[in-house]
Structure 1
Amino acid sequence: MMKFNLAAEAEKVNPLIPHTAEMIVGAVAFSLLFLVLRSKVVPMFEKAFTARTEAIQGGMERAEKAQLEAQRALSQYNEQLAKAREEAQSLREEARVQGASIVEELRAKAQEEAARITSAAHASIEAERQQAITSLRNEVGALAVELASKIVGESLDDQARQSRIVDRFLDDLEKSK
Structure 2
Amino acid sequence: MKLYIKYMVSLRCKMMVKEELKKLGVRYVTVDLGMVDILEEISSLQREKLKINLLKSGLELLDDRKSILIEKIKIVITEMIHYSDELPKVNYSDYISEKLGYDYTYLSNIFSEVKGITLQQFIIIHKIERVKELLLYDELNLTEIAYKLHYSSVAHLSNQFKKVTGLSPSFYKQLKKRRKDNLENM
TM-score (norm 2): 0.14
Higher RCO by CA contacts (8 Å cutoff, separation 6 or greater): 2
